[in-house]
Structure 1
Amino acid sequence: MHPMLNIAIRAVRQAGSIITKYYEIADSTELKQKGNYDLTNFVEKKAKDQMIDIIFKSYPNHIIFTENDSQIYKDTQKVQWVINALDDNINYMKRLPHFSISIATRVKGRTEVAVVYDPMRNELFYAWRGHGTQLNGYRLRGGTARYLSEAILSTDAIFKVHESNAPSINAFEKLFCRCADFRRSGSVALDLAYVASGRIDGYFAINLQPHDFAAGDLLVREAGGLVTDFSGDNHYFCSGNLVAGNARIVQSILAQIRQR
Protein backbone atom coordinates (compact mmCIF):
# COMPACT_ATOMS: atom_id res chain seq x y z
CA MET A 1 0.00 0.00 0.00
CA HIS A 2 1.20 3.52 -0.77
CA PRO A 3 2.80 5.05 2.38
CA MET A 4 0.76 8.26 2.05
CA LEU A 5 -2.40 6.16 1.84
CA ASN A 6 -1.50 4.52 5.14
CA ILE A 7 -1.12 7.92 6.79
CA ALA A 8 -4.36 9.20 5.25
CA ILE A 9 -6.28 6.18 6.54
CA ARG A 10 -4.79 6.60 10.01
CA ALA A 11 -5.75 10.29 10.00
CA VAL A 12 -9.39 9.79 8.95
CA ARG A 13 -9.90 6.93 11.40
CA GLN A 14 -8.60 8.93 14.35
CA ALA A 15 -10.65 11.95 13.28
CA GLY A 16 -13.64 9.63 12.98
CA SER A 17 -13.15 8.45 16.56
CA ILE A 18 -13.30 12.06 17.76
CA ILE A 19 -16.39 12.86 15.71
CA THR A 20 -18.35 9.77 16.76
CA LYS A 21 -17.37 10.19 20.41
CA TYR A 22 -18.96 13.64 20.61
CA TYR A 23 -21.91 12.58 18.46
CA GLU A 24 -22.73 9.86 21.00
CA ILE A 25 -22.43 12.10 24.08
CA ALA A 26 -23.92 15.26 22.55
CA ASP A 27 -26.90 15.06 24.92
CA SER A 28 -24.71 15.45 28.01
CA THR A 29 -25.35 18.55 30.09
CA GLU A 30 -21.82 19.86 29.54
CA LEU A 31 -22.06 19.67 25.76
CA LYS A 32 -25.62 20.96 25.60
CA GLN A 33 -24.37 24.19 27.15
CA LYS A 34 -22.19 24.74 24.09
CA GLY A 35 -25.15 24.71 21.71
CA ASN A 36 -25.30 22.71 18.52
CA TYR A 37 -23.40 25.22 16.39
CA ASP A 38 -20.56 25.71 18.88
CA LEU A 39 -20.30 21.96 19.50
CA THR A 40 -20.07 21.21 15.78
CA ASN A 41 -17.33 23.81 15.30
CA PHE A 42 -15.48 22.47 18.35
CA VAL A 43 -15.63 18.87 17.08
CA GLU A 44 -14.63 19.82 13.54
CA LYS A 45 -11.60 21.78 14.77
CA LYS A 46 -10.56 18.99 17.10
CA ALA A 47 -10.77 16.42 14.30
CA LYS A 48 -8.97 18.70 11.86
CA ASP A 49 -6.13 19.38 14.29
CA GLN A 50 -5.72 15.65 14.85
CA MET A 51 -5.50 15.02 11.11
CA ILE A 52 -2.97 17.80 10.58
CA ASP A 53 -0.84 16.53 13.46
CA ILE A 54 -0.74 12.99 12.03
CA ILE A 55 0.17 14.20 8.54
CA PHE A 56 2.88 16.60 9.66
CA LYS A 57 4.51 14.00 11.92
CA SER A 58 5.21 11.87 8.84
CA TYR A 59 5.51 14.60 6.21
CA PRO A 60 6.59 17.89 7.82
CA ASN A 61 7.52 19.47 4.49
CA HIS A 62 4.21 18.86 2.76
CA ILE A 63 1.41 21.43 2.41
CA ILE A 64 -2.03 20.96 3.96
CA PHE A 65 -5.13 22.70 2.62
CA THR A 66 -8.44 22.87 4.42
CA GLU A 67 -11.70 24.63 3.56
CA ASN A 68 -11.45 28.09 1.95
CA ASP A 69 -7.85 27.53 0.81
CA SER A 70 -7.54 28.55 -2.84
CA GLN A 71 -3.80 28.01 -3.28
CA ILE A 72 -4.42 24.44 -4.44
CA TYR A 73 -4.58 25.86 -7.96
CA LYS A 74 -0.97 27.02 -7.82
CA ASP A 75 1.78 24.91 -9.35
CA THR A 76 4.16 23.60 -6.72
CA GLN A 77 6.67 20.79 -6.38
CA LYS A 78 5.49 20.13 -2.82
CA VAL A 79 2.91 17.45 -2.08
CA GLN A 80 -0.48 18.88 -1.18
CA TRP A 81 -2.92 17.30 1.27
CA VAL A 82 -6.52 18.47 0.83
CA ILE A 83 -8.54 17.62 3.92
CA ASN A 84 -12.15 17.97 4.98
CA ALA A 85 -12.65 17.06 8.62
CA LEU A 86 -16.46 17.09 8.64
CA ASP A 87 -18.66 16.95 5.57
CA ASP A 88 -21.57 17.70 6.19
CA ASN A 89 -21.45 19.72 9.42
CA ILE A 90 -25.16 20.63 9.16
CA ASN A 91 -26.10 16.94 9.20
CA TYR A 92 -23.85 16.52 12.24
CA MET A 93 -25.42 19.52 13.96
CA LYS A 94 -28.92 18.12 13.38
CA ARG A 95 -27.80 14.64 14.46
CA LEU A 96 -28.50 13.17 11.04
CA PRO A 97 -25.92 10.35 10.85
CA HIS A 98 -24.69 11.02 7.32
CA PHE A 99 -21.34 12.80 7.14
CA SER A 100 -17.77 12.00 6.22
CA ILE A 101 -14.08 12.81 6.54
CA SER A 102 -11.90 13.02 3.45
CA ILE A 103 -8.28 13.40 2.40
CA ALA A 104 -6.73 13.73 -1.04
CA THR A 105 -3.01 13.98 -1.72
CA ARG A 106 -1.94 15.80 -4.86
CA VAL A 107 1.49 15.60 -6.50
CA LYS A 108 2.35 18.04 -9.29
CA GLY A 109 -1.30 18.86 -9.85
CA ARG A 110 -2.57 15.25 -9.91
CA THR A 111 -4.44 13.47 -7.14
CA GLU A 112 -2.49 10.32 -6.21
CA VAL A 113 -4.27 9.09 -3.08
CA ALA A 114 -7.83 9.60 -1.85
CA VAL A 115 -9.73 8.48 1.25
CA VAL A 116 -13.36 9.08 2.22
CA TYR A 117 -14.48 7.72 5.58
CA ASP A 118 -18.02 7.38 6.94
CA PRO A 119 -17.42 6.98 10.70
CA MET A 120 -21.05 6.14 11.52
CA ARG A 121 -21.13 3.14 9.17
CA ASN A 122 -17.40 2.40 9.43
CA GLU A 123 -17.13 2.50 5.64
CA LEU A 124 -13.68 3.36 4.33
CA PHE A 125 -13.47 4.22 0.63
CA TYR A 126 -9.98 4.68 -0.75
CA ALA A 127 -8.11 4.88 -4.03
CA TRP A 128 -4.51 5.01 -5.20
CA ARG A 129 -3.90 6.21 -8.75
CA GLY A 130 -3.61 3.24 -11.08
CA HIS A 131 -4.67 0.73 -8.40
CA GLY A 132 -8.45 1.11 -8.38
CA THR A 133 -10.97 2.03 -5.70
CA GLN A 134 -11.84 -0.09 -2.68
CA LEU A 135 -14.44 -0.11 0.08
CA ASN A 136 -13.21 -1.83 3.26
CA GLY A 137 -10.82 -3.90 1.15
CA TYR A 138 -13.23 -4.86 -1.64
CA ARG A 139 -12.70 -3.60 -5.19
CA LEU A 140 -15.37 -1.24 -6.52
CA ARG A 141 -16.71 -0.60 -9.99
CA GLY A 142 -19.12 2.23 -10.75
CA GLY A 143 -22.73 1.91 -11.78
CA THR A 144 -23.82 0.38 -15.08
CA ALA A 145 -26.93 2.46 -15.84
CA ARG A 146 -27.15 3.13 -19.58
CA TYR A 147 -29.95 5.66 -19.73
CA LEU A 148 -30.87 8.74 -17.73
CA SER A 149 -34.40 7.38 -17.32
CA GLU A 150 -33.06 4.53 -15.15
CA ALA A 151 -30.46 6.56 -13.25
CA ILE A 152 -30.53 7.71 -9.63
CA LEU A 153 -28.83 11.10 -9.51
CA SER A 154 -27.55 13.21 -6.64
CA THR A 155 -26.56 16.84 -6.26
CA ASP A 156 -25.34 19.38 -3.74
CA ALA A 157 -27.31 22.16 -5.42
CA ILE A 158 -29.24 24.56 -3.17
CA PHE A 159 -32.89 24.77 -4.16
CA LYS A 160 -33.85 27.84 -2.14
CA VAL A 161 -35.29 30.39 -4.56
CA HIS A 162 -32.65 33.10 -4.98
CA GLU A 163 -31.10 34.78 -8.00
CA SER A 164 -27.68 33.21 -7.31
CA ASN A 165 -29.23 29.72 -7.23
CA ALA A 166 -30.91 30.02 -10.64
CA PRO A 167 -28.30 27.88 -12.51
CA SER A 168 -28.66 25.05 -9.98
CA ILE A 169 -32.46 25.13 -10.10
CA ASN A 170 -32.51 25.23 -13.91
CA ALA A 171 -30.17 22.24 -14.18
CA PHE A 172 -32.15 20.33 -11.57
CA GLU A 173 -35.45 20.95 -13.35
CA LYS A 174 -34.07 19.61 -16.64
CA LEU A 175 -32.65 16.48 -15.04
CA PHE A 176 -35.47 15.78 -12.59
CA CYS A 177 -37.98 15.20 -15.38
CA ARG A 178 -35.72 12.70 -17.14
CA CYS A 179 -33.97 10.66 -14.44
CA ALA A 180 -35.44 7.85 -12.32
CA ASP A 181 -35.05 9.74 -9.02
CA PHE A 182 -32.97 12.31 -7.15
CA ARG A 183 -31.09 12.47 -3.85
CA ARG A 184 -29.50 15.30 -1.88
CA SER A 185 -27.55 13.96 1.09
CA GLY A 186 -25.46 16.99 2.09
CA SER A 187 -22.07 15.24 1.88
CA VAL A 188 -20.32 15.73 -1.47
CA ALA A 189 -17.54 13.29 -0.60
CA LEU A 190 -19.99 10.50 0.26
CA ASP A 191 -22.07 11.19 -2.84
CA LEU A 192 -18.99 10.73 -5.02
CA ALA A 193 -17.98 7.62 -3.06
CA TYR A 194 -21.48 6.28 -3.74
CA VAL A 195 -21.05 6.99 -7.46
CA ALA A 196 -17.80 5.00 -7.31
CA SER A 197 -19.63 2.09 -5.66
CA GLY A 198 -22.68 2.18 -7.94
CA ARG A 199 -25.09 3.19 -5.18
CA ILE A 200 -25.72 6.42 -7.13
CA ASP A 201 -25.53 6.55 -10.92
CA GLY A 202 -24.66 10.20 -11.46
CA TYR A 203 -23.82 13.42 -9.70
CA PHE A 204 -23.73 17.10 -10.57
CA ALA A 205 -22.92 20.21 -8.55
CA ILE A 206 -22.17 23.90 -8.99
CA ASN A 207 -19.61 26.13 -7.25
CA LEU A 208 -17.96 23.50 -5.05
CA GLN A 209 -14.62 24.01 -3.33
CA PRO A 210 -11.68 21.61 -3.88
CA HIS A 211 -11.88 20.24 -0.34
CA ASP A 212 -15.45 19.13 -1.13
CA PHE A 213 -14.60 16.85 -4.05
CA ALA A 214 -10.82 16.30 -4.32
CA ALA A 215 -10.97 12.85 -2.72
CA GLY A 216 -14.24 11.73 -4.31
CA ASP A 217 -12.96 12.71 -7.74
CA LEU A 218 -10.22 10.06 -7.67
CA LEU A 219 -12.58 7.45 -6.18
CA VAL A 220 -14.91 7.81 -9.15
CA ARG A 221 -12.18 7.77 -11.79
CA GLU A 222 -10.35 4.79 -10.29
CA ALA A 223 -13.66 2.90 -10.20
CA GLY A 224 -13.96 3.34 -13.96
CA GLY A 225 -16.13 6.46 -13.94
CA LEU A 226 -15.80 9.87 -15.52
CA VAL A 227 -15.58 13.31 -13.89
CA THR A 228 -15.83 16.47 -15.97
CA ASP A 229 -16.83 20.12 -15.76
CA PHE A 230 -19.96 21.35 -17.53
CA SER A 231 -18.02 21.69 -20.80
CA GLY A 232 -16.90 18.07 -20.69
CA ASP A 233 -13.35 19.14 -19.80
CA ASN A 234 -11.30 18.67 -16.62
CA HIS A 235 -11.25 22.24 -15.31
CA TYR A 236 -13.56 21.56 -12.36
CA PHE A 237 -10.82 22.30 -9.80
CA CYS A 238 -11.01 25.90 -10.97
CA SER A 239 -14.73 26.25 -11.72
CA GLY A 240 -16.14 24.06 -8.95
CA ASN A 241 -18.74 22.76 -11.44
CA LEU A 242 -18.64 19.02 -11.97
CA VAL A 243 -20.51 16.02 -13.29
CA ALA A 244 -19.64 12.43 -12.32
CA GLY A 245 -20.83 8.96 -13.30
CA ASN A 246 -20.17 6.39 -15.97
CA ALA A 247 -19.47 7.75 -19.47
CA ARG A 248 -23.04 7.32 -20.74
CA ILE A 249 -24.67 8.99 -17.76
CA VAL A 250 -22.18 11.87 -17.73
CA GLN A 251 -22.83 12.55 -21.42
CA SER A 252 -26.59 12.45 -20.82
CA ILE A 253 -26.35 14.87 -17.87
CA LEU A 254 -24.16 17.25 -19.89
CA ALA A 255 -26.59 17.17 -22.80
CA GLN A 256 -29.46 18.22 -20.52
CA ILE A 257 -27.48 20.93 -18.71
CA ARG A 258 -26.38 22.48 -22.02
CA GLN A 259 -29.95 22.75 -23.34
CA ARG A 260 -31.39 26.23 -23.24
Structure 2
Amino acid sequence: MASANLNIMIRAARKAGRSLVKDFREVENLQVSVKGAGDFVSRADREAERIIKEELRNARPNYGWIGEETGEEDGEDPTRRWIVDPLDGTTNFLHGLPHWAVSIALEHKGEIVASVVFDAAKDELFTAEKGDGAFLNDRRIRVSGRRQMIESIFATGVPFAGRGPLPATLRDLGRLMPLTAGVRRWGAASLDLAYVAAGRYEGYWERGIKSWDVAAGVLLVKEAGGRVDSIHPGQSPVESGSIVAANPQLFDELAGIVRQRD
Protein backbone atom coordinates (compact mmCIF):
# COMPACT_ATOMS: atom_id res chain seq x y z
CA MET A 1 0.00 0.00 0.00
CA ALA A 2 1.41 3.38 -1.04
CA SER A 3 2.38 5.88 1.65
CA ALA A 4 0.73 9.27 1.98
CA ASN A 5 3.76 10.93 0.38
CA LEU A 6 3.73 8.60 -2.62
CA ASN A 7 0.00 9.19 -3.12
CA ILE A 8 0.66 12.94 -3.10
CA MET A 9 3.39 12.47 -5.71
CA ILE A 10 1.17 10.30 -7.92
CA ARG A 11 -1.64 12.85 -7.77
CA ALA A 12 0.74 15.67 -8.74
CA ALA A 13 2.28 13.66 -11.59
CA ARG A 14 -1.11 12.67 -13.01
CA LYS A 15 -2.41 16.24 -12.83
CA ALA A 16 0.68 17.59 -14.60
CA GLY A 17 0.50 14.71 -17.07
CA ARG A 18 -3.07 15.60 -18.05
CA SER A 19 -1.98 19.17 -18.74
CA LEU A 20 0.98 17.99 -20.80
CA VAL A 21 -1.09 15.55 -22.87
CA LYS A 22 -3.49 18.35 -23.73
CA ASP A 23 -0.61 20.55 -24.87
CA PHE A 24 1.07 17.66 -26.67
CA ARG A 25 -2.00 17.37 -28.91
CA GLU A 26 -1.51 21.02 -29.82
CA VAL A 27 2.27 20.86 -30.04
CA GLU A 28 2.48 22.99 -33.17
CA ASN A 29 0.76 25.87 -31.38
CA LEU A 30 3.01 25.85 -28.29
CA GLN A 31 4.79 29.02 -27.38
CA VAL A 32 8.43 28.03 -27.23
CA SER A 33 11.36 30.01 -25.91
CA VAL A 34 14.99 29.04 -26.33
CA LYS A 35 17.11 28.36 -23.24
CA GLY A 36 20.20 27.48 -25.24
CA ALA A 37 21.35 25.83 -28.44
CA GLY A 38 19.20 22.74 -28.91
CA ASP A 39 17.67 23.09 -25.45
CA PHE A 40 14.08 24.31 -25.46
CA VAL A 41 11.59 25.09 -22.78
CA SER A 42 7.92 25.42 -23.54
CA ARG A 43 4.92 26.95 -21.92
CA ALA A 44 3.76 23.41 -21.29
CA ASP A 45 6.94 22.63 -19.34
CA ARG A 46 6.58 25.67 -17.10
CA GLU A 47 2.89 25.01 -16.50
CA ALA A 48 3.59 21.40 -15.54
CA GLU A 49 6.17 22.52 -12.98
CA ARG A 50 3.73 25.07 -11.57
CA ILE A 51 1.08 22.37 -11.15
CA ILE A 52 3.47 19.95 -9.45
CA LYS A 53 4.90 22.58 -7.16
CA GLU A 54 1.47 23.77 -6.11
CA GLU A 55 0.28 20.22 -5.39
CA LEU A 56 3.38 19.23 -3.42
CA ARG A 57 3.70 22.51 -1.54
CA ASN A 58 0.04 22.50 -0.55
CA ALA A 59 0.42 19.00 0.88
CA ARG A 60 3.91 19.36 2.39
CA PRO A 61 4.67 23.08 2.77
CA ASN A 62 7.79 22.53 4.89
CA TYR A 63 9.71 20.35 2.39
CA GLY A 64 12.50 21.75 0.25
CA TRP A 65 12.36 21.84 -3.55
CA ILE A 66 14.61 21.56 -6.58
CA GLY A 67 13.06 21.78 -10.03
CA GLU A 68 14.50 22.08 -13.51
CA GLU A 69 12.71 25.34 -14.29
CA THR A 70 12.46 27.10 -10.92
CA GLY A 71 15.70 26.00 -9.28
CA GLU A 72 16.34 25.20 -5.63
CA GLU A 73 14.47 26.39 -2.56
CA ASP A 74 15.15 25.46 1.05
CA GLY A 75 12.32 24.19 3.22
CA GLU A 76 11.67 24.51 6.92
CA ASP A 77 12.42 20.79 7.12
CA PRO A 78 16.09 20.59 6.05
CA THR A 79 16.00 16.78 5.81
CA ARG A 80 13.41 16.46 3.03
CA ARG A 81 13.12 17.88 -0.47
CA TRP A 82 11.33 17.21 -3.71
CA ILE A 83 13.46 16.73 -6.85
CA VAL A 84 11.34 17.39 -9.93
CA ASP A 85 11.66 17.33 -13.69
CA PRO A 86 8.22 18.38 -14.93
CA LEU A 87 8.93 17.33 -18.52
CA ASP A 88 11.86 15.01 -19.13
CA GLY A 89 12.22 14.67 -22.87
CA THR A 90 11.26 18.23 -23.79
CA THR A 91 12.82 18.00 -27.25
CA ASN A 92 10.83 14.84 -27.99
CA PHE A 93 7.69 16.61 -26.81
CA LEU A 94 8.26 19.61 -29.04
CA HIS A 95 8.88 17.39 -32.06
CA GLY A 96 5.70 15.41 -31.52
CA LEU A 97 7.49 12.27 -30.33
CA PRO A 98 5.47 10.49 -27.60
CA HIS A 99 8.41 9.64 -25.36
CA TRP A 100 8.58 11.99 -22.38
CA ALA A 101 7.71 11.86 -18.70
CA VAL A 102 7.03 13.64 -15.45
CA SER A 103 9.66 12.74 -12.85
CA ILE A 104 9.23 13.34 -9.10
CA ALA A 105 11.51 12.08 -6.32
CA LEU A 106 11.42 12.59 -2.56
CA GLU A 107 14.79 12.82 -0.86
CA HIS A 108 15.20 12.28 2.90
CA LYS A 109 18.57 12.96 4.53
CA GLY A 110 20.35 12.71 1.18
CA GLU A 111 18.67 9.46 0.09
CA ILE A 112 15.85 8.99 -2.40
CA VAL A 113 12.95 7.29 -0.57
CA ALA A 114 10.04 7.62 -3.01
CA SER A 115 9.79 7.98 -6.78
CA VAL A 116 7.27 8.54 -9.54
CA VAL A 117 7.99 8.54 -13.28
CA PHE A 118 4.80 9.07 -15.29
CA ASP A 119 4.78 8.48 -19.04
CA ALA A 120 1.48 10.24 -19.68
CA ALA A 121 1.46 9.65 -23.45
CA LYS A 122 1.45 5.87 -22.89
CA ASP A 123 -0.33 5.95 -19.49
CA GLU A 124 2.54 4.12 -17.79
CA LEU A 125 3.07 5.04 -14.15
CA PHE A 126 6.32 3.81 -12.59
CA THR A 127 6.51 4.07 -8.79
CA ALA A 128 8.82 2.96 -5.99
CA GLU A 129 9.36 3.43 -2.29
CA LYS A 130 12.45 2.42 -0.39
CA GLY A 131 12.10 -1.18 0.77
CA ASP A 132 8.74 -1.76 -0.95
CA GLY A 133 9.71 -2.68 -4.51
CA ALA A 134 9.07 -1.03 -7.88
CA PHE A 135 5.82 -1.05 -9.81
CA LEU A 136 4.39 -0.25 -13.23
CA ASN A 137 0.67 0.55 -13.03
CA ASP A 138 0.39 -1.50 -9.80
CA ARG A 139 2.26 -4.50 -11.27
CA ARG A 140 5.58 -5.32 -9.59
CA ILE A 141 8.54 -5.03 -11.94
CA ARG A 142 12.03 -6.54 -11.90
CA VAL A 143 15.22 -5.93 -13.84
CA SER A 144 16.10 -8.25 -16.69
CA GLY A 145 17.66 -11.64 -16.00
CA ARG A 146 19.90 -11.64 -19.09
CA ARG A 147 23.54 -12.50 -18.45
CA GLN A 148 25.18 -12.08 -21.87
CA MET A 149 26.15 -8.68 -23.28
CA ILE A 150 25.51 -9.88 -26.83
CA GLU A 151 21.85 -10.56 -25.95
CA SER A 152 21.39 -7.23 -24.21
CA ILE A 153 20.16 -3.76 -25.09
CA PHE A 154 21.54 -0.67 -23.37
CA ALA A 155 20.47 2.96 -23.32
CA THR A 156 22.41 6.19 -23.10
CA GLY A 157 22.24 9.89 -23.86
CA VAL A 158 24.44 11.42 -26.55
CA PRO A 159 25.44 15.06 -26.04
CA PHE A 160 23.94 17.39 -28.63
CA ALA A 161 24.61 20.86 -30.05
CA GLY A 162 28.22 20.91 -28.89
CA ARG A 163 27.31 20.31 -25.26
CA GLY A 164 28.74 17.88 -22.76
CA PRO A 165 31.32 15.10 -22.90
CA LEU A 166 30.77 13.93 -26.50
CA PRO A 167 34.25 12.39 -27.01
CA ALA A 168 33.88 10.20 -23.91
CA THR A 169 30.39 9.09 -24.97
CA LEU A 170 31.61 8.21 -28.47
CA ARG A 171 34.42 6.15 -26.92
CA ASP A 172 31.84 4.34 -24.78
CA LEU A 173 29.74 3.58 -27.85
CA GLY A 174 32.74 2.35 -29.79
CA ARG A 175 33.59 -0.11 -27.01
CA LEU A 176 30.04 -1.26 -26.24
CA MET A 177 28.25 -1.55 -29.54
CA PRO A 178 30.29 -4.46 -30.92
CA LEU A 179 29.57 -6.42 -27.72
CA THR A 180 25.80 -5.92 -27.49
CA ALA A 181 22.45 -6.41 -29.24
CA GLY A 182 22.12 -2.64 -29.51
CA VAL A 183 22.24 0.77 -27.88
CA ARG A 184 19.23 3.09 -27.77
CA ARG A 185 19.18 6.87 -27.43
CA TRP A 186 15.57 7.88 -26.76
CA GLY A 187 16.12 11.23 -25.08
CA ALA A 188 14.49 10.86 -21.66
CA ALA A 189 16.77 9.71 -18.83
CA SER A 190 13.94 9.05 -16.36
CA LEU A 191 12.36 6.60 -18.80
CA ASP A 192 15.73 4.99 -19.59
CA LEU A 193 16.04 4.14 -15.90
CA ALA A 194 12.39 3.09 -15.64
CA TYR A 195 12.94 0.74 -18.59
CA VAL A 196 15.97 -0.80 -16.87
CA ALA A 197 13.78 -1.33 -13.80
CA ALA A 198 11.10 -2.98 -15.96
CA GLY A 199 13.57 -5.29 -17.71
CA ARG A 200 13.16 -3.60 -21.10
CA TYR A 201 16.82 -2.54 -21.14
CA GLU A 202 19.63 -4.43 -19.44
CA GLY A 203 21.47 -1.24 -18.55
CA TYR A 204 21.89 2.51 -18.99
CA TRP A 205 24.70 5.00 -18.61
CA GLU A 206 25.08 8.72 -19.23
CA ARG A 207 27.48 11.59 -18.62
CA GLY A 208 26.59 15.25 -18.11
CA ILE A 209 23.26 14.47 -16.44
CA LYS A 210 21.31 16.56 -13.91
CA SER A 211 19.92 15.39 -10.56
CA TRP A 212 16.29 15.95 -11.59
CA ASP A 213 16.79 13.75 -14.67
CA VAL A 214 17.76 10.65 -12.68
CA ALA A 215 16.68 11.04 -9.03
CA ALA A 216 13.38 9.17 -9.38
CA GLY A 217 14.78 6.54 -11.74
CA VAL A 218 17.65 5.61 -9.42
CA LEU A 219 15.23 4.30 -6.79
CA LEU A 220 13.15 2.49 -9.42
CA VAL A 221 16.19 0.50 -10.53
CA LYS A 222 17.32 -0.29 -6.98
CA GLU A 223 13.86 -1.41 -5.89
CA ALA A 224 13.56 -3.57 -9.02
CA GLY A 225 16.72 -5.44 -8.04
CA GLY A 226 19.24 -3.53 -10.12
CA ARG A 227 22.47 -1.75 -9.30
CA VAL A 228 23.18 1.96 -9.74
CA ASP A 229 26.35 3.99 -9.26
CA SER A 230 28.15 7.03 -10.57
CA ILE A 231 30.56 6.46 -13.44
CA HIS A 232 33.03 7.97 -10.97
CA PRO A 233 33.19 5.45 -8.09
CA GLY A 234 32.50 6.83 -4.64
CA GLN A 235 30.30 9.66 -5.90
CA SER A 236 26.52 9.96 -5.83
CA PRO A 237 24.77 8.86 -9.04
CA VAL A 238 22.17 11.58 -8.39
CA GLU A 239 24.57 14.45 -7.71
CA SER A 240 27.76 13.58 -9.60
CA GLY A 241 26.52 14.28 -13.13
CA SER A 242 27.17 10.75 -14.35
CA ILE A 243 25.39 7.44 -13.87
CA VAL A 244 25.58 3.75 -14.72
CA ALA A 245 22.75 1.31 -13.98
CA ALA A 246 22.14 -2.32 -14.92
CA ASN A 247 20.88 -5.68 -13.78
CA PRO A 248 23.22 -7.37 -11.28
CA GLN A 249 24.55 -9.88 -13.83
CA LEU A 250 25.84 -7.21 -16.24
CA PHE A 251 26.52 -4.21 -14.02
CA ASP A 252 30.22 -4.87 -13.45
CA GLU A 253 30.89 -5.43 -17.15
CA LEU A 254 28.99 -2.31 -18.24
CA ALA A 255 30.54 -0.18 -15.51
CA GLY A 256 34.01 -1.49 -16.33
CA ILE A 257 33.65 -0.47 -19.96
CA VAL A 258 32.35 3.05 -19.38
CA ARG A 259 34.92 3.64 -16.62
CA GLN A 260 37.84 2.83 -18.90
CA ARG A 261 40.28 5.60 -19.67
CA ASP A 262 42.00 6.04 -23.00
Cα distance, 1:36–1:62 mapped onto 2, change above 3 Å? closer
Distance 1:172 1:66 in 2: 30
Q: What is residue 12 of structure 1 aligned with on the other side?
A: 13
Q: Name the residue aligned to 1:114.
A: 115
SS of alignment partner, residue 42 of structure 2: helix
Deviations 1:60-117 (A, max 9, x none): 1111101278869xxx733110001001100011001110001000000111100000
2:93 alignment partner, SS class: helix
1:22 Cα shift? 1.1
Amino acid at match of 2:239: C
Report the equivalent of 1:158: 159
Q: How far, CA to CA, are the matches of 1:136 and 1:203 in structure 2?
A: 22
Alpha-carbon separation, structure 2, partners of 1:162 and 1:71: 23
Q: Name the structure where strand makes up a greater proportion of residues.
A: 2
Residue 64 of structure 1 pairs with residue 95 of structure 2: no
Give the partner amino acid of 1:123. Answer: E
Give yes or no for contact 1:40–1:92 (8 Å, CA) kept in 2.
no
Distance 1:43 1:163 in 2: 26
Give structure 1 stretches of 5+ with no counterpart. none
Structure with greater proportional helix content: 1
Q: CA deviation at 1:220?
A: 0.2
Measured against aligned partners, the alpha-carbon deviations of 1:25-81 in whole angstroms (never above 9, x if no partner) come to 335xxx36x358699510011110000000011111111101278869xxx733110
Distance 1:20 1:189 in 2: 18
Q: Which amino acid aligns with 1:105?
A: L
Counterpart secondary structure, 2:27: coil
5 Å-filtered alignment, 1:14-33, equals: 14-27=15-28, 31=29
2:258 is matched with which residue?
A: 257
Q: 1:46 to 1:252 in 2, by over 3 A?
A: same
Partners of 2:182 and 2:227 in 1: CA distance: 20
Could you tell which deviates more after superposition, 63-72 or 174-183?
63-72
1:153 counterpart SS class: strand
Larger mean CA deviation between 56-65 and 163-172 belongs to 163-172
Question: 1:140 Cα shift?
Answer: 0.5
1:198 counterpart residue number: 199
RMSD over equivalenced CA pairs, Å: 2.3
How far is 1:163 from its partner? 8.7
Tell me if structure 2 keeps the 8 A contact 1:5–1:113: yes
Q: Which position in structure 1 is the counterpart of 2:92?
A: 91
SS at match of 2:249: helix
Displacement of 1:180: 1.1
Does the Cα contact within 8 Å between 1:81 and 1:104 map onto a contact in 2?
yes
Cα distance per residue 1:172-229 (max 9 Å; x no partner): 1111111111100000000100000001111010021100000000000000000011
Identity of aligned residues (%): 31
TM-score, with structure 2 as normaliser: 0.89
**Preserved contact between residue 196 and residue 204 of structure 2 (Cα < 8 Å):** yes
Q: In the superposition, relative to structure 1, how do residues 151 and 3 fare at CA in structure 2: closer, same or farther (>3 Å)?
A: same
Cα distance in 2 for partners of 1:80, 1:115 equals: 14
Give the counterpart letter for 2:176 in structure 1.
L
Distance 1:256 1:228 in 2: 14
- What aligned pairs does 1:109-258 form with structure 2 within 5 A after superposition? 109-158=110-159, 164-258=165-259
Query: What is the TM-score normalised by the length of structure 1?
Result: 0.90
Listed as ranges, the gaps of 5+ residues in structure 2 are none
Query: Contact 1:88 / 1:99 at 8 angstroms: preserved in 2?
Result: yes
